Structure 1
Amino acid sequence: MKVLIAIPPEKFRDEELLIPVKKFQEAGVMYELASTHVGVVMGVYGKKAKVNRTFEDILLKGIDDYYALMIVGGPGTQVHLWNNRHLMELINVFNTKQKVVAGIDNAPIVIAKTGILKKKQATVVPGQTVREMMKEDAIIVNKPVVYKDKIVTASGPEAAEEFASIIIKYEKSDPEFVPTSGKAGFAF
């Protein structure tokens, strides 16, 4: 199973792609990049990435090969992804099939715009993004990473390593499950 990484066609936050990709490689987790078009995309700080799939192509072919969708943030995310109907449809398909949906920096906004964060805790980079999340009825928590019900949100590049670690844990097990010493899963 792979992680599908959604990336804007320009101006993504370099470290929000590079740090998770490095963690995925170290953990042996496969990944694939997708965007609004195929080709080379450039980050805010000049790093380049090659995109081989479009969101529309993945919708047509299906998501069976993936266990998670990770959305990279940055200025390009606001411009190209916040209102991208194909990406929103992908988010809904992943969520419906109980697969992981993850967004970092300002990417949680596109997740919120699908409605799946309504009345749920999430985090986002500080600024106008908080207002955008609140418009969609998300409950903003001041933490670097928030995860529940296979939805992972992270506040920015400084949280990229922890963000990637949680996504990796979902492939092998459920990081939300906390074993108890009581009988039948109840703590007494």
Structure 2
Amino acid sequence: MANLNGKRIAILATNGFEQAELEVPQTKLREAGAQVDVVSPESGEIRGWDEKDWGNKVRVDRALSDVSAGDYDALVLPGGQINPDILRVNKEALALITAFFDQKKVIAAICHAPWLLIQTGLVKGRNVTGYKSILTDLRNAGGIVHDEAVITDEGIITSRNPGDLDQFCAKIVEEINEGRHTQRKAA
């Protein structure tokens, strides 16, 4: 994996994130040299969902209220059903996602996390993918939906599920190394 030394990445999550969709990017991006912070509206620890039951706890590095898009080079949004459903009604979370978009920074959403892109209006007219149960939601939001492992549209990365995590993480590294996506069109 390419070098991410000096890069800072936020993973925005709350209780109910899909375990692998937070832990694998966190590990792989750190191994590539990035500083990776778990950002949450919760403090202390948040707990993942591991397939059919509650999973591991993960330490929250920074409170959502204490961060801005200017602090980071990219934003990763893990899925699971619970995590993005809670975050899509959190005004601070939506504002942070929108700020990353406005600053033309990389945003990566996997599984059900593209719901957050729908909620912020960032899907319309974009090539996207997501977990099979949200493909209709993506279409209804104006997305150009593809049933592929990973889709990138001007620095917005979407991916289907945990089986695609290696490709998802590799694409995050590639897009961060490309820098800001100044050609990105408005939502």
Match in the other structure for 2:115: 109
**Residue 13 of structure 2 is aligned to residue 7 of structure 1:** yes
| TM-score between both structures, scaled by the size of structure 1 | 0.84
Equivalent residues of 1:82, 1:107 under 8 A apart: no
RMSD: 1.6
**CA-to-partner distance for each residue in 1:14-35, whole Å, 9 max, x for gaps?**
1111211221122111110111
For residues 150-161 of structure 1, the aligned pairs below 5 Å read: 150-161=155-166
Pairing 1:1-188 to 2, within 5 Å after superposition = 1-8=7-14, 10-45=15-50, 46-58=55-67, 62-127=68-133, 129-173=134-178
Spell out, residue by residue over 1:75-101, the C-alpha distance to the aligned partner (whole angstroms, 9 max, x if none).
222431122221111111111111011
Q: List gaps (5 residues or longer) in structure 1.
A: 177-188
| Distance across 2 between alignment mates of 1:4 and 1:132 | 25
String of CA shifts for 1:86-130, please: whole Å, max 9, x gaps.
Answer: 111111111111101111010011112211210111001001x12
Q: Which has the larger radius of gyration?
A: 1
SS of the residue 2:104 aligns to: coil
For residues 136 and 172 of structure 1, the distance between their equivalents in structure 2, rounded to whole angstroms, comes to: 29
How many corresponding residue pairs? 170
Structure 2: runs of 5+ lacking an equivalent? 1-6, 182-187
Q: How far did residue 138 of structure 1 move?
A: 1.1
Moved over 3 A (4+): none
